[in-house]
Amino acid sequence: MFKQAHLVLEDGSIHRGEAFGSESGGNGEVVFNTSMTGYQEVLTDPSYAGQLVTLTYPLVGNYGINREDFESRRIQVSGLIVREHCDQPSHTGADETLHEFLKSQNIPGISGVDTRAITRRLRNRGVMSGIITTESPESALERLAEATRYDDVDFVRTVTTDQDYSWDEPALELGAPGYRIVVTDCGLKYNILRLLRQRGCEVTAVPATMPAEEMLAMKPDGILLSPGPGDPQLLDYLVSNVQKLVGRVPMMGICLGHQILARAMGAQTFKLKFGHRGGNHPVKDLSDGRIYITAQNHGYAVSADSLPAGLEISHINLNDDTIEGLRHRELPVFTIQYHSEGSPGPHDNEYLFDRFLKLVQGAG
């Protein structure tokens, strides 16, 4: 039998449901994701660090949890909010239930709430702090008022790897190009490493705090700045580090990496009202006019009015016209705001890894 729980938002609204996973409670910035599948990938995506994630699809957990679909070494969200969670998954590959998975890592969940109402509230009022608790709503509001704001925390330092490591699967085939790609781990998803490896690259992930000189000493053919959580305005140490790399080696930035590269070249970022999170966002590639359906997870964007000379927009979001990609007219640099690694999907945008490797080849 699951205990009664509450989701309490900073605007004072209270959403009653049932606790599952850990009963310890948890607070963070409340956001919503519109994907219909992929809850395991969402839970283990480091870009969600410090956030309580509301899944708009009504049934979650029906295919359980397996050992193949992790996108990092652990659960990264601070809590999970669902309409209904399934405690009897039906899939031959399932190793445990969603409830067991959350409980094993002390992550709270709440089910039985109206996720449509929560999503509408966030769309109308913007993302806000919240708390999942089995305590009284009044106590929760007091704790929430004293909690550190999401925008004030450098979450990259909490999710990045402690030391560099190689990604060796699958094994390289004879005749593979063997480009040496260094991936700065700002909160990367494993599928980035998988896709680079599948394209014949020697892949090494390094801490976000590794100095530029140490990265260059590894003699990379290209450097990729990964996605990650939090406000890019808090990451001046990363921005100054990237400034030492731009123009010296071909570079690609994804999501937070896109924002960091943009800031390193003089652009500014701003916070979106409720962010882009899900697997169904339409993006236009301005080079050929083609429309792609993309996976996204970001709460900040690059300001189009702040772009310096030489940096131009390559992709736009067709929902709100925000920047979804940049390229430099002269330097071997390009970025995308969405997730070309698309795990769990869609996979329409993996071509951007091929574009990156052509950039690497052209600079060789």
Give dist(CA 296, CA 337) in Å, integer: 8
Choice among 85, 281, 328, 339 that is catalytic: 339
Q: What's the rounded Cα separation, in Å, for the pair 6 and 135? A: 8
Contact (Cβ atoms closer than 8 angstroms) between residue 274 and residue 126: yes
Give residues with Cβ within 8 angstroms of 315, minimum separation 6. 283, 284, 285, 286, 323, 324, 325, 336, 337, 338
> Which residue of the set 186, 255, 281, 315 is catalytic?
255
Q: CB neighbours of 172 closer than 8 A, spacing ≥ 6?
A: 178, 197, 200, 202
Beta-strand ranges (E) seen in 286-310 are 291-302
Gap between the Cα atoms of 182 and 83, Å rounded? 40
CA distance linking residue 82 with residue 216, whole number of Å: 45
Nearest CA-CA partner of 304 in 286, 319, 325: 325
Per the annotation, the verdict on 276 as an active-site residue is: no
What does each C-alpha distance from 259 to 228, 230, 269, 301 come to in angstroms? 10, 11, 7, 7
Report yes or no: 253 and 222 within 8 Å, Cβ to Cβ: no
CB of 175 within 8 A of CB of 53? Answer: no
Known catalytic residue: 347? no
Q: Which residue type, as a one-letter code, is found at position 89? A: P
Q: Are 249 and 331 in contact (CB under 8 A)?
A: no
> How many angstroms separate the CA atoms of 201 and 176, rounded?
8
User: Within its chain, how far is the Cα of 11 from the centroid?
Assistant: 26
- Residues comprising the chain, all counted: 364
341 is catalytic: yes
Catalytic amino acids?
Answer: 255, 339, 341
